[in-house]
Amino acid sequence: MSILNVADRLVPQRMHSVKKAFAMEEPVPLLSEQDRLVQRINLRQYVREVVILRMIAADKVGLANGQVIDLSIRGCGLRLTKALTRGQYLTLKVYPNDGTTSVQCDLVKVQWVEGNRAGVAFLRMSLENERRLRRLCGDQLASEYWD
């Protein structure tokens, strides 16, 4: 008997025992629509810190008040009094809790909307406002670290 014949006879038996040893008793559950949405929302390049900051958003139609509920240097989560739509462009003004100068984002794009919440990406702001934003993100991290 050649080595190939022996291997042909042993491999199926070994594969069957390997399959049996690693067979799952229960099927893997599929993600619900809600879980898939949460995963899509949470795909971010930068970590967002949980915050509560006052903000005003403006578009062609008018103003909306609300809160920034999470923040990074590239975007933020909002809770608003006015419904937004995905793909909408806005101007955003964020007011730090310590009374320092507000951060103005000249152009933000709505990435997702769920009820009265939305996520926006910062597309354009002045260098000075970007510095303020970086300081604000750093201050939020520092206050959480020391509290």
| pLDDT, tens digit, 9 for 90 and up, residues 31-68 | 556 555 554 555 545 566 789 999 999 999 899 999 99
**Residue pointed to by tokens 């949460």:** 38
Separation of alpha carbons 143 and 140, rounded Å: 5
Residue 3: pLDDT over 90: no
Q: Domain coordinates of the chain in residue numbers?
A: 47-146
Distance set, CA 34 to CA 10, 69, 84, 88, 128 (Å): 47, 20, 19, 22, 39
84 close to 66: Cβ distance less than 8 angstroms:
no
Please state, in angstroms and rounded to a whole number, the distance separating the CA atoms of residues 44 and 110: 14
Burial of 117: CB neighbours in 10 Å, binned 0-12, 13-18, 19+: middle
Q: Which residue has the higher pLDDT, 11 or 146?
A: 11
Condensed to tens digits (0 to 9), the pLDDT of residues 63-85 reads: 999 999 999 999 999 999 988 99
Q: What is the DSSP string of 77-98?
A: EEEESS---TT-EEEEEEE-TT
Count other C-beta atoms under 10 Å from residue 14's C-beta: 10
For the chain, percent of residues with pLDDT exceeding 70: 61
Six token digits for residue 96: 């730090």
Please report which confidence band the pLDDT of residue 19 belongs to, taking 50, 70 and 90 as the band edges.
very low
The one-character DSSP state at 99 is: -
pTM (2 d.p.):
0.64
CATH tag for 47-146 (out of 2.40.10.220, 1.10.8.420, 2.30.30.830, 1.10.10.10): 2.40.10.220
